[in-house]
Structure 1
């Protein structure tokens, strides 16, 4: 026996002897007192009622029917990990659950299921919430900011075929030089851009008797379409310079040629080639203003071909009224240079179309990659949540908290819950899919794709 134990035995013996002595004296001097036993008061701090186990404060939708409902639901305490990783803590909570009675679909079973889901509900996130940006077409400026390139390019040439175009420059008629410049220009035009040719003043003569008929001569000899060499050459061979100069009428008619081609999605260019002033009483300056205010909003290029001072001033006024540009040319080379500007714009348009489409395609692929990544994340979370819920139900059954009927019911509810979560996944996958991104991007993109597809 150790020393400590011996000392304790001695002290205990002494205490007993003293106690006996005191008891004898007490019996002689005091009357007997009835012994009482105080009932132990419960500790309120440690008191746990089973009814307090359930979380009745948190608002939680077990079966969300929208993507927003899935992603906005509170995340469970044990989300993100397998049941086994937190089994001790989970079972401690489950052990306090009341027994669910009432069978299939009972209120007790429904409440128990809700509480279980609230423990394991995963953190489902919207992959693009807050950082999805609409794609907008980046329209390049042309002509020093006077206009912008748009998904569709349309060019209409309005050629003066009045009698004065028969005059010669460098040994050839102005008309011959103009036709040659047009042939060269259109032959290098992008295949899917559109071009049209309208001529005016090509009927009658410069005689006063022919004025009325000649002033009505404005004809679209090559309809707005992609370049067709044979058809354009045939059109250029159909007229010769002969009559008066109904410039205002030709400009007015060009609005009809381009009708419906809104500047929202079309780059509309007009090249007006003339060697003189309006001679039919029209007001081409006023018509130019109407062009500017119209839906087509064309960029009007006015080319004065070896024009006199009076004619030059009127052509400048036309360009200014249309917010366009004016150029004076003396010969074929000068005229070709003006059409070269249009050719450069056409090439710029084609390069821009291709680069924008490539940019969109890159963005769509990046988004689809992100969608695929989030799809995998959602799949992992769904599988983990489903597995955790089943394990919790199995544990409750093993502990006698639920019978077979309730267990079957709860397991069927798990499957319904996962189906609803899956519906949310399908929702965002569809909403953000590159195949359906027109729901998320603006009308410009839809128009761009539509026209680009038509152009190819």
Structure 2
């Protein structure tokens, strides 16, 4: 009986063993459906693994920075993952609610991942900023910080032209012809210096001033031959324009002054006639400025020449500076300036010549009365405020759009019941508090830029006022009524 039971048990074990081996025998290498099924399962597993790795790679609360609502914090903020590639203009024009709606699934999945790892409001806020924060604060804030009001430089006599000013920028220029006496008498000395050297230095300084608003020409006479009778004809007939009428260029003008010396006779009438010939086809205001130390010695009539120069043109005039002249010369030069509808000025030494050249052609009282218009006025300053606000408002728009996106995230957290109410309330307070701090920063930034605009405006006003006071003082000293 025991033998029979043993045999039956043996056969049962054999049958069980055969049954366990059957699935291996059924999976043949040529069974394509079964192979494909296994491969599909492997691919699905790989996709899930890749997705999990991607989630882990893009999100780690421990690696996120504390939210910093300061100006520096906004500049350094790394843009949220969901806004990658969004430009400043695109974000400003964005409908935040619609944008989040289009990415609801992605945002919901992200928030589920976050809240599954933490229920700490501070960490959740960091994660929300990491996903929805603005990527464009840096561009907007740096543009606002770089704003320069760029007020026009006031045109003040004696001030140099601003470098970089384009040729032809001024609407209309006057024309000035400088006639410089280089006769032999200019070789004499005044206070230990040669008169010609003093005159050249003063003329150069004068050209620096009037060259800002006028085309300039320099005509020289008496610089050829000698004072001997044999050289009279050469000296009297040689009158040259050594700096052609045109825009003033300091270096070229200085080179022209250095190109001659005092030598011969004094063809004053011929020099004025030369200026008349040069300007016969020129309309508008033309002024002769003559620096001379003596009378006509070439048999000409400078009074008639001056009358001819201004004939039929009320905008022309002849102004003369008599440099260390005797009484006879002064009387003749006064007559010439009167015939030329101009003024005569006397300078007995180097200091007087320099002062006369520098300030005798001062702005009128009327011009000084309107000097305040050279400085920025209230409307100009207001316009600069508005220009700055165009940049500033872009930052404000970014803060608002960002906050709208955060509100949408809070709604998802509430609707999906991802966090308790108390956590959600604390998170809302954090986001709201940082929103307020960002606007505080923006108010400080705007105040800073407004102060800068006002400071620049005030500095220009101060320079204009100083110039006005100085010009008025000089006119008072000279006794000018106008």
Scaled by the length of structure 1, what TM-score is found? Answer: 0.43
Task: Compute the TM-score of the two structures, normalised by the length of structure 2.
Answer: 0.41
Q: Which has the higher helix share?
A: 2
